[in-house]
Amino acid sequence: MKFIATTGYSLEGVLNRELKSLGMNVLDVSTSRVMFEGDHEDGCRASLMLRSAGRILLQVASFEAMNFDELFDGTYSVQWERIIEEGVSATVVARSVNSSLFSQKTIQSIVQKAVFKRICDKRRIRYVNGEPKYHIDVLIHKNIVSISIDLVGAPLHKRGYRVLNPEAALRETLAASLVLLSGWKFDRPLHDPFCGSGTILIEAALLARNIGPGMNRKFFYQDIPWWPNASCKTAKERCKDEEYRGELPPITGGDIDERALLMAVTHIKKAKVAGDVQVRTEKAKNMQLVGDRGHIITNPPYGERMANKDMLHTMYSEFAQACRRYPGYSCHIITSYEQTQPIFGRKADKKRKLYNSNLETIYYQFFGSLPRQQEK
């Protein structure tokens, strides 16, 4: 079986490393997608454990199509009567990149027509009736068609713990990706001075505990008649056995917005990491960190959320000054504020363009200095 895990722009490498760390056989890495192969249990385990993935798809066909007749024939050749049970139907979402066929609406219409005709012909019925249950994903890239069905239902960023939705909160998958990109090894403190509703902190704790972010939610494949329930149970038991139950370093957050902190407390409890994460009312310029070395990972306000540029400059300047008090800490900041590097007085050791929702941002990584005995 071939699966496709989707992710955000520029995060394919993160997702690739995640899959390999789970022991998956990765077949291909492309823009916002990583293909891997495995059995039903692997598909379940990926949905439970992947942190940077948005969806898991099961590929059912791959073929070349230069025209709509070839698209129809290739789609019709799939045994849809064995995939889509009686009494339900399907919807189609299509995307085309650098291909002869480029009209998304027409591609969707042709694929749906081929799917329904195949079912009608094989079942000897006139119409496919029923509410849409299956979601068919079509990607045409350089005239190669990939047809897949969605296995997870609600996107994977919906972990189940964020029951409140504050303005400008990071999507859970992006927050997890920031932690994965930071290089944090769970052996040093982690702090978020603009923690808001706590998403970065929660994702860090789940990662350090090796708790699957999908352990407390349901997936679409659980409602598929031909998907073996035993694979779901086995995968979940394996994930549970691999959780870490030892001691963790401090994972802390601060914020001046008490309403956001109340949300953070709620989400931390809901995610079942209350014993690992502590938050407090605290200005970023006054942050108090533990030890000589650690990681700061944060999503501070940007210009889009702060109309007053002078206030924004002051806030970043005070934050940068606070970071200088802890030279051994690495500071990782996602922001669209263009003056971040000048204010920090240095070029970032690493930079990566990421999208926070539809907003283009930069993930700046300023590495902490090593103790003198390690510099030699």
* pLDDT tens digits along 266-308: 999 999 999 999 999 999 999 999 999 999 999 998 865 555 7
Q: How confident is the model at residue 164 (pLDDT cuts 50, 70, 90)?
A: confident
User: 358: closest CA among 171, 201, 199?
Assistant: 171
* Helix (H), strand (E) at residue 125: none
Three-class DSSP category at 92: strand
The per-residue pLDDT for 302 is 81
What mean pLDDT is reported for the chain? 94
Quote the pLDDT of residue 124.
95
Confidence class of residue 153 from pLDDT cuts 50, 70 and 90?
Answer: very high
The β-bridge partners of 244 are none
Q: Report pLDDT for 373.
A: 46
The helix (run of H) or strand (run of E) holding residue 89 is strand 89-97
Residue 31 pLDDT more than 80?
Answer: yes
Contact between 264 and 299 (Cβ < 8 Å): no
**Spatial separation of the C-alpha atoms in residues 298 and 304, rounded to whole Å:** 17
Amino acid at 278: Q
CATH class of 172-210+245-375: alpha beta
Assigned fold of 2-150: VC0802-like (3.30.2130)
Q: Judge whether residue 375 has pLDDT over 50.
A: no
Interval 106-143: pLDDT, tens? 999 999 999 999 999 999 999 998 999 999 999 999 99
- Looking only at the bridges linking them, the beta strands covering 190-192 and 251-255 are parallel
pLDDT digits (tens, 9 = 90+) for 59-88: 999 999 999 999 999 999 999 999 999 999
Domain extents in the chain: 2-150, 172-210+245-375
Question: Could you tell me what percent of the chain has a pLDDT over 90?
Answer: 91
**Whole-structure pTM value:** 0.94
Examine the pLDDT at 372 and tell me if it is beyond 70.
no
